[in-house]
A = this chain, B = another copy of it.
């Protein structure tokens, strides 16, 4: 997935459309993860932002808070593959993942290539949040 470029105004609009107050820090965080087009953890993102020359200071706590908010509002997707940390995926189209447990690498698989059939009926009083498929692979030791 190739990097894209966004103006701050575009990001700001996107946030507003998702019911998020577009503060300077939130715009930086959102813009960074969307432009990187990669699976990043909060810590990854924080370090990238720290090294931007034109950065406006963004604290680690704010990165965590913002990513949580973005995930909750559907701007990005949380991927829980590695028990050690959560990564965020700017790809919000339905898709699944191949996770290399040795290297930590995470690869997208389009939902129209790999599908789930036979969805069980949901427990009473619950609504569907999403279906995650994770293909775990291992590199030779």
Q: Which A residues form the contact surface with B (CB < 8 A)?
A: 78, 80-83, 85-86, 98, 100-102, 105, 107, 109, 113-120, 122-123, 125-140
**Least CB distance, A76 to chain B, in whole angstroms:** 15
A137–B133 touching, CB < 8 Å: no
B136–A130 touching, CB < 8 Å: yes
Nearest chain B residue, comparing its CB with the CB of A101: B129
Interchain CA distance A33-B85 in the complex, whole Å: 26
Interchain CA distance A126-B140 in the complex, whole Å: 7
Interchain CA distance A125-B136 in the complex, whole Å: 13
Nearest chain B residue, comparing its CB with the CB of A114: B118
Q: Which residues of B contact A109 (CB under 8 A)?
A: 120
**Beyond A80-B80, A133-B132, is A126–B138 a contact (Cβ under 8 Å)?**
yes
Nearest chain B residue, comparing its CB with the CB of A84: B83
**Beyond A116-B116, A117-B115, A133-B131, is A125–B98 a contact (Cβ under 8 Å)?**
no
